[in-house]
Structure 1
Amino acid sequence: MAASPLLLASGSAVRATLLRNAGLHFRARDSRVDEDAVKKRFAGSDTDTLALKLAEEKAQVVSQAEPAALVIGADQILSCCGERYDKPRDMDEARANLKKLRARDHILHSGVALALNGAIVWRHSDRAHLAMRDFSDDFLDLYLATVGDKVRSSVGCYQLEGPGIQLFDRIDGDYFTILGLPLLPLLAELRRRKAVTA
């Protein structure tokens, strides 16, 4: 029996690049899930569970529309000192968030799920701990000027594969989890399901 075609339930260029670089053949379809509504529905959940619920919702919504595909859903939430962070709406919010994260540790909670025939068939969550250094306001201004509007594409206002790496003193966790897709467990499950070559 032929493997189900792979579908990424996301408009994220980073997640698509990770899968493409890993040699996967897939299509991408944005789930258009109302993330705020999901967060309200699971507001009492711990942050790991909430990231996983968002990933599951995205995978399930796309799977219901394309039941023959094996659908990958993923999401990520940042937490620091008991507060959860969303992607910044504008440059002012990005600046404020980075000032709050400066000289503190924070956690990136990443979830990934697979759906088939409209049902979740696999899920995995992971977390990474990151310590921002105590950078100056001058450095913050330079950083924001350098990265520009790209700062709004990440929940933490940084991309480790770019100038964002200069914000940190220490990183403890899987690189792919930090980028928002726990890739190694996902690939292992795809191989187990014969969705990719073992």
Structure 2
Amino acid sequence: MIVLASKSASRRAMLDAAGVDFTPVPAALDERALEASLGEVPPASVALALAEAKALSVDGGMRPVLGSDSVVSVDGRRFDKPASRAQAAEHLRFFSGKTMHLHSGAALALGGHLRWSHVEEARLVVRPLSEDFITRYLAAEWPEVGQCVGVFRIEAMGVQLFERIEGDHFTVLGMPLLPVLGALRALEELPA
């Protein structure tokens, strides 16, 4: 059994579906403060730093602790989860017709020491979004998408935002699951 240092429903669902036995213990971490302390680093570095900090922030005892985080950038600008429905609409207007770069990082810590970390990128081409679509989309998907960086749940109506997606499905969902499963097998937490 592992500890998942996250409150993300998507990450819990991925681990459940993959048959990984885990206990969720949300990380008590000021993500924005950590991000600010990193300065101007690439989004992949931010996603990895957040995942590592989450994995190290929870005491799993003798169990591995899995931390994960995702960072979205568009035109070189990083985006956090929207603070309000109005901000979600602003984000969607900015994303319209552009390519979203989504970096999902994951890290495993054991006994307070980082044992493994990994980050992957997916590129999501956002179609041109009309004001009518944005209004209808948020009427249907808010407040759930307020918990999602990028203002979408790919497993729900969020799929309608995109023309094309390049990258691993699990990375888009918020965690590079296949590398995580490989790392858990290497740590002998899953059978080989």
Residue 43 of structure 1 is matched in structure 2 by 39
Gaps of 5+ in 1: none
Q: Distance in 2 between matches of 1:58 and 1:158?
A: 23
Q: Does 1:159 align with 2:149?
A: no
Compute the TM-score of the two structures, normalised by the length of structure 1: 0.95
Within 5 A, what are the aligned runs for 1:5-24? 5-24=1-20
Task: Say which of 175, 179, 196 aligns to 2:169.
Answer: 175
What residue identity is the alignment partner of 1:60? L
Task: Say which of 97, 108, 120 aligns to 2:91.
Answer: 97
Compute the TM-score of the two structures, normalised by the length of structure 2: 0.97
What residue identity is the alignment partner of 2:191? T
Partner SS, residue 120 of structure 2: strand
Within 5 A, what are the aligned runs for 1:176-191? 176-191=170-185
Residue 22 of structure 2 is matched in structure 1 by 26
1:44 deviates by: 2.7
Question: RMSD of the alignment, in Å?
Answer: 0.9
1:40 deviates by: 1.4
Identity rate of aligned residues, in percent?
40
1:173 deviates by: 0.6
Gaps of 5+ in 2: none
Q: Distance in 2 between matches of 1:148 and 1:31?
A: 24
1:109 deviates by: 0.7
Residue 121 of structure 1 is matched in structure 2 by 115
For these two proteins, the number of residue pairs brought into alignment is: 192
Residue 138 of structure 1 is matched in structure 2 by 132
Q: Distance in 2 between matches of 1:196 and 1:25?
A: 9
Q: Distance in 2 between matches of 1:95 and 1:141?
A: 8
1:144 deviates by: 0.8
Residue 108 of structure 1 is matched in structure 2 by 102
Residue 52 of structure 2 is matched in structure 1 by 56
What residue identity is the alignment partner of 2:92? L
Contact persistence 2:101–2:123 (CA under 8 A): yes
1:182 deviates by: 0.2
Partner SS, residue 97 of structure 1: helix
1:130 deviates by: 0.5
1:41 deviates by: 1.5
What residue identity is the alignment partner of 2:4? L
Contact persistence 2:93–2:129 (CA under 8 A): no
What residue identity is the alignment partner of 2:55? A
Q: Distance in 2 between matches of 1:138 and 1:26?
A: 41
1:47 deviates by: 1.1
Q: Residue by residue, what CA displacement relative to the aligned partner does 1:39-92 show, whole Å, maximum 9, x if unpaired? A: 012123211111100000000010xx2331100000000001110000000100
Dislocated runs of 4+, deviation >3 Å? none
Q: Distance in 2 between matches of 1:151 and 1:106?
A: 16
Partner SS, residue 171 of structure 1: strand
Give the stretch that moved more between structures: 35-44 or 104-113. Answer: 35-44
